[in-house]
């Protein structure tokens, strides 16, 4: 494969700019998969620098699961109205809303988990550890480990993404930040299911 063909393929697969693709191809000695990894690493570094920027634009995405018994409303923000109207941004919002419908997260992130839920979980894990006869100094570590697992199962940003379980939802968002070039923030969501309060 010529360098030009490699750059074209890399651009098609990643959406990165021509110069970035050319540098990544050179750095990876023509190996497309390694070049993708190079771009992802650089993109994530760029994305992290954008993560502190204010995101005041965005959309409300509505997803109704077939059968109309389950639905999600999601507010996802970006920095500009231009990106809010962008098809890639809208697709991201749609896929995250579908993920919420399927995975039923409790909160967006760890800081959003209500204190009463955390307290209840902590009490359950502590009692389970005590009932198994563990010493008090070990119980704290067990509880901390189980709470960490709870966060990964219950917080949207930490859950394995339904469409690609090898990545967490926050990784998918970070990749999109790197590609679009703007900060993206999941602000809030509400999941509705017939018969549930």
For 13-60, write each residue's pLDDT tens digit: 666 677 778 888 888 888 888 887 887 777 654 555 555 667 789 999
Are residues 25 and 65 located together in one domain of the fold? no
Q: How far is it, in rounded angstroms, from Cα 119 to Cα 17? A: 48
Q: How far is it, in rounded angstroms, from Cα 132 to Cα 125? A: 11
Are residues 140 and 167 located together in one domain of the fold? no
What pTM did the predictor assign? 0.70
Q: Which of 50, 68, 88 is the last residue of a domain?
A: 50
Are residues 79 and 90 located together in one domain of the fold? yes
Angstrom CA distances, 56 to 46, 75, 103, 173, 192, stand at 20, 11, 27, 16, 25
Are residues 71 and 150 located together in one domain of the fold? no
The single residue listed with the structure tokens 């809303």 is 97
Strands 160-161 and 164-168: antiparallel
Angle between helices 115-131 and 136-154 (to 10 degrees): 140
Per-residue model confidence (pLDDT) at position 50: 55
Domain count, the chain: 3
Please, which pLDDT band fits residue 1 given cuts at 50, 70 and 90?
Answer: confident
Tens digits of per-residue pLDDT, 123-176? 999 888 888 888 888 888 888 999 999 999 999 999 999 999 999 999 999 888
Note the Cα 18 to chain centre separation in Å.
27
Are residues 93 and 160 located together in one domain of the fold? yes
Are residues 90 and 100 located together in one domain of the fold? yes
Task: Please calculate the CA angle 86-65-106 and round it to the nearest 5 degrees.
Answer: 85
Per-residue model confidence (pLDDT) at position 160: 95
Are residues 62 and 43 located together in one domain of the fold? no
Are residues 82 and 164 located together in one domain of the fold? yes
Are residues 14 and 27 located together in one domain of the fold? yes
Residue 171's domain comprises 57-108+155-193
Are residues 104 and 161 located together in one domain of the fold? yes
**CATH at 124:** 1.10.286.20
Angstrom CA distances, 83 to 59, 78, 179, stand at 10, 7, 11
As beta bridge partners, residue 107 has 155
Are residues 163 and 99 located together in one domain of the fold? yes
Are residues 165 and 189 located together in one domain of the fold? yes
Please, which pLDDT band fits residue 74 given cuts at 50, 70 and 90?
Answer: very high
């Amino acid at each position: 494969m010529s360098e030009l063909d490699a750059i074209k393929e890399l651009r098609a697969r990643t959406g990165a700019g021509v110069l970035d693709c050319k540098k990544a191809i050179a750095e990876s000695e023509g190996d497309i998969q390694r070049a993708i990894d190079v771009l992802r690493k650089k993109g994530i570094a760029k994305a992290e620098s954008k993560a502190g920027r204010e995101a005041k634009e965005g959309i409300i995405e509505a997803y109704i699961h077939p059968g109309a018994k389950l639905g999600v409303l999601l507010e996802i923000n970006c920095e500009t109205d231009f990106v809010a109207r962008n098809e890639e941004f809208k697709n991201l919002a749609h896929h995250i809303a579908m993920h919420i419908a399927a995975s039923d997260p409790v909160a967006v992130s760890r800081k959003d988990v209500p204190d009463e839920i955390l307290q209840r979980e902590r009490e359950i894990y502590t009692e389970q550890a005590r009932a198994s006869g563990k010493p008090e100094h070990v119980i704290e570590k067990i509880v901390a480990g189980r709470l960490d697992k709870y966060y990964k199962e219950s917080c949207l940003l930490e859950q394995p993404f339904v469409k690609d379980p090898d990545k967490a939802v926050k990784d998918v968002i970070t990749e999109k930040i790197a590609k679009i070039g703007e900060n993206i923030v999941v602000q809030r969501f509400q999941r509705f299911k017939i018969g549930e309060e």
